[in-house]
Amino acid sequence: MTNPLLADWDTPFGIAPFDRISDEDFAPALKTALAEHRAEIDAIAGNPDAPSFANTVEALEASGQALDKVLSVFFTVAGADSNPTREALQRDFSPELAAHQSAISGNEALFARIAAVWEARDGLGLTDEQARVLMLTHRGFVRAGAALTGDAAKRMKEIKARLAVLGTQFTQNLLADERAWFMPLDESDLTGLPDFVIDTARAAGEEKGTDGPVVTLSRSLIVPFLQFSDRRDLREKAFRAWEARGANGGETDNREIAAETLALRQERAELLGYENFAAYKLETEMAKTPQAVRDLLMSVWKPAKAQADADAQVLTALMQKDGVNGPLEPWDWRYYAEKRRAAEHDLDEAALKPFFQLDRMIDAAFDCATRLFGLQFAPLDVPLYHPDCRAWEVTRDGKHVAVFIGDYFARGSKRSGAWCSAMRAQAKFPQDQAPVVINVCNFAKGDPALLSYDDARTLFHEFGHALHQMLSDVTYESVSGTSVARDFVELPSQLYEHWLDQPEVLQEFATHARTGEAMPREMLEKVLKAATFDMGFQTVEYIASALVDLEFHDGAAPTDPMARQAEVLDSISMPQAIRMRHATPQFAHVFAGDGYSSAYYSYMWSEVMDADAFAAFEEAGGAFDVERAKALETHILSTGGSRDPAELYTAFRGRLPGVEALLKGRGLAA
């Protein structure tokens, strides 16, 4: 019987046949797919014909399709619906895949062919996209260590294999800590909590197999608990558990993993001739240098900290009014900020939340995409990997564009956070393939499921990434969709958040869960007026994380990352009542893999562009200006990584942006 992961998928639009795939299929499928890919690579490297773009670079682009199929399914379920078997497989697969990639980048005959094509590039008559793919392929091999020989090449392979193991272990430790801790609540512990928080806590209790409500370390539950619970002792207990993820001692402690990861990254950079890992990593980003990153972050830090310090004084006064003496603590900030928001903006989260139904916010995200880009969304009835998932066919002018999958609810088997990935990326070579794109979130379940305003922003954010994948229109998969510089990839996602803030969108889709009535205009105005409320806090917790990440990698690797973290925070006078958004032991962006290492700043780099890009719509005909939407698709959403990002942004806007629009958008402008 053919392994379903390796068979031709005779499903609607070639979606993975999840109902036919079992955990026992993954290991044998991977073994077969790896062997097939190795044979393809050997054939390219050993081709007796003179190296050409077609027989070397295009041949590489066409290779590994079976492997892509296996891994797209495996990593989807390993991240969003893990179990002990899948976690064990991930631990086994990580070093195996790292060794496989190292063998490819270390294949001397293959690199010699790529180098020969690179040297002859000017006379090959390549299209702009082909020239870009050749440059990225050659650069990628060089940066992976292809030019290294002897002991250096051997050591590079060892480093990559070890980093793969450490990244997997970091992620699994964090998931284990989040899954293991919960705090039971009795009826007297529910004081101050609105119904939606109590309902979420009861649902979490059911999942944990307890009789009553519990608080877990899921952000969608612990944040509203910290906002509303009148019990300061329980807020402190919950916050300390949240802060301690990955740093509880024992088998799931991530601190030594972080130290070893940083040391190996530094060694890797030095092997390649770079002063440090930040210099290596940022060379291919828009920022280019650590100093450019530092300059951006510090230009925003100063006004953000000033705002946070002023806010802390107001919140401390509110706390003292309650008879609580002593300093404002991290478990107090959200609670008193919520009280302040209710007083100053007459905005009650409990009254607001019924207007943000998950299904209506999905409809809103779809409707904006229809108005901007002409996309249509029709539900698909296909087997998926979990009952919570749903799928839609995306069309335009009656033609199939993509399949979109949404997996929205928090559960113990899902890692925290929210993300977008392409189970199949758009490409035209070696054959036309339409994308299959998935958004994974961690919203609280309910009947109906209700979102906070921040949750709704997250939904729009991830859907912005999905649009970048779905509207991609390039030839080669290696430059498709979100295959762009890390500090450019957040531009489409953060830009799309702006459409949630449009009054006409909220008036149509922010409808009450019980009555179906539209959000009253008075409440709508309050929501929009309060959009930058507590922005000092949000900006400070983010920039602190970005600066720690940068300083970890810009210089000698710290032997004690926690001590280095403390030094960095002390050097910027971090407010006592605010913590980093992601402290080192739970900083999965940075330590689960190389993706955002030295690059957590990229959200803010992209925000500079997204604030300026949305201003282009406002300066034209408004948020739904057809010409601006067309330009956005033409120059950014459809082009993937086929051109330099600065060139793409300039083509859309006519110039590169300054930081002013960002400060104005965050309410931090002087």
Same domain, 101 and 37: yes
Same domain, 641 and 504: yes
Asked whether the CA dihedral 6, 12, 15, 18 is positive or negative, the reply is negative
Task: Give residue-wise pLDDT tens across range 214-254.
Answer: 999 999 999 999 999 999 999 999 999 999 999 999 999 99
Same domain, 505 and 644: yes
**pLDDT of 153 strictly over 70:** yes
Q: Are 451 and 485 in contact (CB under 8 A)?
A: no
Same domain, 476 and 625: yes
- Per-residue pLDDT band for 354 (boundaries 50, 70, 90) equals very high
Looking at 585, 600, 615, the residue that finishes a domain is 600
Residue 169 lies in a domain: no
Residue 168 lies in a domain: no
Q: Are 377 and 404 in contact (CB under 8 A)?
A: yes
To 5 degrees, how large is the angle CA 541–CA 547–CA 548? 90
Residues 285-289 have a mean pLDDT of: 96
**pLDDT of 94 strictly over 80:** yes
**pLDDT of 606 strictly over 70:** yes
Angstrom distance (rounded) from CA 139 to CA 136: 5
Residues 22-48 have a mean pLDDT of: 98
Angstrom distance (rounded) from CA 287 to CA 276: 16
Residue 165 lies in a domain: no
Angstrom distance (rounded) from CA 664 to CA 300: 11
- Per-residue pLDDT band for 195 (boundaries 50, 70, 90) equals very high
Looking at 229, 245, 261, the residue that finishes a domain is 245
Same domain, 477 and 562: no
Q: Are 612 and 490 in contact (CB under 8 A)?
A: no
Q: What is the pLDDT of residue 336?
A: 98
Q: What is the pLDDT of residue 348?
A: 84
Looking at 207, 229, 245, the residue that finishes a domain is 245
**With 0-12 CB in 10 A as exposed, 13-18 as middle and 19+ as buried, what is 24?**
exposed
Q: pLDDT over 90 for what percent of the chain?
A: 96
Token code pair at residue 662: 């960002």
Where are any strands of DSSP class E within 503-654?
none
Same domain, 612 and 491: yes
**With 0-12 CB in 10 A as exposed, 13-18 as middle and 19+ as buried, what is 573?**
exposed
Give the β-pairing of 399-409 and 436-443: parallel
Q: Which domain holds residue 430?
A: 354-529+603-665
Same domain, 377 and 464: yes
- CATH number reported for the structural domain that contains residue 101 in this entry: 1.20.1050.40
Task: Give residue-wise pLDDT tens across range 626-651.
Answer: 999 999 999 999 999 999 999 999 99
Task: Give residue-wise pLDDT tens across range 471-524.
Answer: 999 999 999 999 999 999 999 999 999 999 999 999 999 999 999 999 999 999
Same domain, 417 and 465: yes
Residue 462 lies in a domain: yes
Angstrom distance (rounded) from CA 444 to CA 408: 9
Q: What is the pLDDT of residue 1?
A: 78
Angstrom distance (rounded) from CA 493 to CA 437: 14
Angstrom distance (rounded) from CA 582 to CA 603: 14
Q: Are 178 and 245 in contact (CB under 8 A)?
A: yes
Residue 163 lies in a domain: no
Residue 581 lies in a domain: yes
Q: pLDDT over 70 for what percent of the chain?
A: 100
Task: Give residue-wise pLDDT tens across range 245-286.
Answer: 999 999 999 999 999 999 999 999 999 999 999 999 999 999
Average pLDDT, the chain: 96
Full-model pTM = 0.94
**Dihedral over alpha carbons 589, 591, 594, 599 (to 10 degrees):** 50
For residue 61, CA distances in Å to 212, 421, 531, 617, 638 come to: 54, 19, 45, 37, 19
The Cβ-side half-sphere exposure at 139, using a 13 Å CA radius, reads 11
Token code pair at residue 305: 């900290």
Question: Can you spell out the DSSP letters for 144-212?
Answer: TTTT--HHHHHHHHHHHHHHHHHHHHHHHHHHHHHHH-EEE--GGGGTT--HHHHHHHHHHHHHHT-SS
Q: What is the pLDDT of residue 329?
A: 98
Task: Give residue-wise pLDDT tens across range 408-463.
Answer: 999 989 998 999 999 999 999 999 999 999 999 999 988 899 999 999 999 999 99
Angstrom distance (rounded) from CA 89 to CA 74: 9
Same domain, 446 and 495: yes
| Residues that are catalytic | 462
Same domain, 370 and 414: yes
Residues 83-99 have a mean pLDDT of: 96
- CATH number reported for the structural domain that contains residue 335 in this entry: 1.10.1370.10
Same domain, 385 and 491: yes
Q: What is the pLDDT of residue 209?
A: 93
Residue 566 lies in a domain: yes
Same domain, 27 and 101: yes
Q: What are phi and psi of 14, to 5 degrees?
A: 65, 30
Report the domain count for the chain: 4
Question: Cis peptide leading into 448, omega within 30 of 0?
Answer: yes
DSSP 374: -
SS3 186: coil
Residue 177 lies in a domain: no
Q: What is the pLDDT of residue 349?
A: 83
Q: What is the pLDDT of residue 670?
A: 63
